[in-house]
Amino acid sequence: MNQTLPPVTELAVVDAAALDVAIGSAEQPFVVRGLVADWPLVQAARRSPREARAHLLAHARERDFAVSMGDPQSGGRLFYDADMQMNFRMGHGRLDKIFAGFDAAEAHPVVPTVYLASIDIEQFFDGLGSANPMPLSTRDALASIWIGTPTKIAAHNDFPDNLACCAVGQRRFTLFPPDQFRNLYLGPIDNTPAGRAVSMVDLAAPDLATYPRFADAMDSALVADLEPGDALYIPSLWYHHVEASAPFNVLINYWWRDTPRFLGQPQNALNHAILAIRDLPPAQRNIWRAMFEHYVFSGGAEAAAHIPPPAQGVLAPFDAQSAGRMHAFLLRSFSQ
């Protein structure tokens, strides 16, 4: 799509404390140029893609990595085919064997799409995180690495906050506010390329006859172009289309949530509500809508106010113990 989009705001961050303040006060995405420019991985990438791969291999554990593989004619777009099945296949292999394919591909103008997505750094690498550190204050972040040929990943969102650091190659993020979900024409939630519902619109060639409201989504979109060393903060639930354009690309990102991990995943609640409530008669749905507002979306204070605190049960604020009891209760109810 040739529409010129406004850029994501850029912030100057001088140290970890300044980054902590910027993240804590941010309501929109922002870019920090050169945030991780001193990483050994970034420095290796500036010399050559092969040196970047050598740095990763020096830390890789001896275990199989999951890899997505797509045909060259897909243009790097990992998406659905005409039958709404995935247009890529999954495989597994040791990282040195996978990287040997990247080495060989340097001499070929047309290569298959190869994508290692959301690889847990702690589980699959030894010392890579400490060699390329990201101080995030008290945030309990999950660090993941994304490695691949040129790829195009359809717009989607994630529940956690996200700090995405471009280590090798180039990445363009096109971002949409959370309230644009209707205008993005999201696909199935139970048949997805990578666990999250994705926009059915091809950003490079949007079919506005089929998806007319996508024009409204583009009116609110922002764009961020990242070079090695740059970082992008993506707040929770912001949609992002991601395009990696170099022959070899590496992104490291950090996910965290502001609420304790013992609380549930909102997507699971949505899935269950679709199963249990969506197909009820309209009058019953309206009653449940009001009950959700009373118990959930209002914050629940009124629902618990008349009950003595020791007897409030799940209407009281959760701690790890009470959340565990609620998880166990739900598991029992799902099995009945």
pLDDT in tens, 114-139: 999 999 999 999 999 999 999 998 99
Q: Where are the domains of the chain?
A: 9-256, 266-334
pLDDT in tens, 51-100: 999 999 999 999 999 999 999 999 999 999 999 999 999 999 999 999 99
As beta bridge partners, residue 148 has 115, 249
Q: How confident is the model at residue 2 (pLDDT cuts 50, 70, 90)?
A: low
Which residue spans within 71-110 are E strands per DSSP?
77-78, 88-93
- Which pLDDT belongs to residue 102? 94
Say how far apart CA 73 and CA 77 lie, in whole Å. 9
- Rounded mean pLDDT of 32-54? 97
- Which pLDDT belongs to residue 1? 57
Q: Is the separation of the CB atoms in 284 and 88 below 8 Å?
A: no
pTM of the predicted model as reported, rounded to 2 decimal places:
0.95
pLDDT in tens, 134-180: 999 899 999 999 999 999 999 999 999 999 999 999 999 999 999 99
Q: How confident is the model at residue 333 (pLDDT cuts 50, 70, 90)?
A: confident
In three-state secondary structure terms, 23 is helix
Q: Which long-range contacts (CB under 8 A, 24 or more apart) does 43-52 make?
A: 45/167, 45/168, 45/169, 45/228, 45/250, 46/228, 49/102, 49/106, 49/168, 49/169, 49/246, 49/247, 49/248, 50/103, 52/167, 52/168, 52/248, 52/250
Residue 189 DSSP label: S
- Which pLDDT belongs to residue 110? 85
Nearest by Cα to 96 from 69, 64, 127, 49: 64
pLDDT in tens, 241-252: 999 999 999 999
- Rounded mean pLDDT of 205-214? 97
Q: Is domain 9-256 classified as CATH 3.10.580.10?
A: no
Looking at the chain, the whole-number percentage of residues with pLDDT higher than 70 is 99
**β-sheet with 142-148: strand ranges across:** 9-10, 30-32, 231-234, 161-168, 249-256, 142-148, 113-120, 65-70, 88-93
Q: How confident is the model at residue 111 (pLDDT cuts 50, 70, 90)?
A: confident
